[in-house]
């Protein structure tokens, strides 16, 4: 995978005063085309501020962000950048602008000046991708939280971005709604090669990523695969990150003298590891 977004020595303060506190402090990170990157960190670490730089909602105080070679500081490229990178916010109610589902999904393409016939095709395609086509005539206010978030994602898809940024999109949802949204995100990434950048507090969502970037006090402190990140329990505790239940289970079993060689990232892996362990005694 080639580089898609390049973040180079990114510094940011909300106040331009030289003595102002830096929210982001010297961040360097490359995001590859078609990858699924999860960003983790404590509250106030700078996660949301970081991804708002990726579609030029915010501009660097110092340093640069390039999207497909376009500098976000270049005002002439703002339209192209925001057409390339879409942003999904935490609360879907903040993004839904129409009372009917299909009208809401059509809003973005209409503002881009897309022809009506093409808009119809894009709306139908986007709603099918998020499994909300049967609700196209429904009122948006009658939907569940998970359904609203999927409609918000469909609205971004209809604009045909190559990358979708998601800022804790499941934090306000129940478990079923979270599963619906996460399944949608994984489908877009794996089957349609849309680059995904996900901020989440749920470690079981982060395990689905290709890579995880850990941010603390405005700095990237580690970037690695989920397996490598979650193998380091001491590191997770140092940065006050929660430990996925299956990872914690394996860790506790090891502490109690059970010799397990691998860590599990999900329930299926955990079951297989335990099966193999007990089968070794037969």
Residue ranges covered by each domain of the chain = 3-226
pLDDT at position 264 is 86
- Tokens at 175, concatenated: 């478990």
pLDDT at position 2 is 67
pLDDT at position 75 is 94
pLDDT at position 91 is 85
In the chain, the N- to C-terminal Cα span, in Å, equals 44
103-142 b/e (C-beta count within 10 Å ≥ 16 → b): ebbbbbbeeeebeeeebeebbeebbebbebbebbebebee
Which H or E run includes 214?
strand 211-216
Q: Are the C-beta atoms of 114 and 122 separated by less than 8 Å?
A: yes
23-40 b/e (C-beta count within 10 Å ≥ 16 → b): bbbebebbbeebbbbbbb
Mean pLDDT of the chain: 91
Most confident of 24-28, 152-156, 180-184: 24-28
Predicted confidence band of residue 181 (pLDDT cuts 50, 70, 90) = confident
Q: Which fold has domain 3-226?
A: Rossmann fold (3.40.50)
Which has more pLDDT, 83 or 260? 83
pLDDT at position 118 is 94
Residue 194, phi-psi category: left (phi > 0), alpha (psi -120 to 50), beta (remainder): beta
Does pLDDT of 216 surpass 90? Answer: yes
The residue among 183, 238, 223, 225 whose CA lies nearest residue 205 is 183
Provide mean pLDDT across the span 246-251.
Answer: 88
Bridge partner residues of 5 (DSSP) = 31, 67
Which has more pLDDT, 2 or 213? 213
CA distances (Å), 142 to each of 98, 125, 145, 147, in order? 12, 22, 10, 9
Q: Is the pTM of this model over 0.85?
A: yes
Predicted confidence band of residue 243 (pLDDT cuts 50, 70, 90) = confident
- Measured between alpha carbons, how far is 83 from 272 in angstroms, rounded to an integer? 43
pLDDT at position 67 is 97
CB-facing half-sphere around the CA of 247: CA atoms within 13 A: 20
List, in order, residues 6 or more apart from 105 with CB less than 8 Å away: 123, 126, 127, 136, 151, 154, 155, 158
Which has more pLDDT, 212 or 248? 212
Predicted confidence band of residue 229 (pLDDT cuts 50, 70, 90) = very high
- Tokens at 21, concatenated: 């506190």
Does pLDDT of 281 surpass 80? Answer: no
Predicted confidence band of residue 142 (pLDDT cuts 50, 70, 90) = very high
């Amino acid at each position: 995978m080639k580089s898609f977004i390049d973040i180079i020595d990114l510094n940011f303060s909300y106040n331009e005063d030289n003595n102002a506190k830096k929210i982001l402090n010297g961040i360097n990170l490359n995001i590859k085309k078609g990858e699924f990157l999860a960003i983790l960190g404590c509250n106030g670490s700078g996660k949301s501020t970081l991804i708002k730089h990726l579609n030029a909602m915010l501009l660097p105080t110092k340093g640069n962000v390039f999207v497909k070679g376009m500098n976000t500081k270049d005002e002439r490229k703002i339209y192209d950048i925001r057409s390339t990178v879409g942003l999904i916010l935490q609360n879907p109610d903040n993004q839904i602008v129409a009372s009917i589902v299909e009208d809401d999904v059509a809003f973005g393409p209409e503002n881009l000046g897309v022809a009506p016939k093409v808009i119809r095709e894009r709306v139908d395609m986007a709603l099918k991708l998020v499994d909300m086509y049967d609700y196209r005539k429904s009122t948006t206010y009658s939907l569940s939280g998970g359904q609203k978030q999927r409609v918000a994602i469909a609205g971004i898809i209809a604009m045909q971005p190559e990358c979708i940024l998601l800022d804790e999109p499941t934090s306000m949802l129940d478990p079923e709604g979270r599963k619906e949204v996460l399944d949608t995100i994984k489908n877009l990434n794996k089957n349609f090669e849309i680059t995904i950048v996900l901020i989440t507090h749920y470690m079981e969502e982060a395990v689905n990523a290709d890579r995880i970037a850990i941010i603390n006090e405005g700095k990237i402190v580690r970037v690695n695969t989920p397996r490598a990140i979650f193998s380091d329990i001491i590191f997770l505790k140092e940065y006050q990150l929660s430990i996925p239940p299956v990872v914690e289970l394996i860790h506790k079993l090891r502490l109690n003298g059970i010799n397990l060689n691998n860590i599990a990232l999900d329930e299926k892996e955990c079951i297989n590891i335990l099966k193999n362990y007990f089968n070794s005694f037969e």
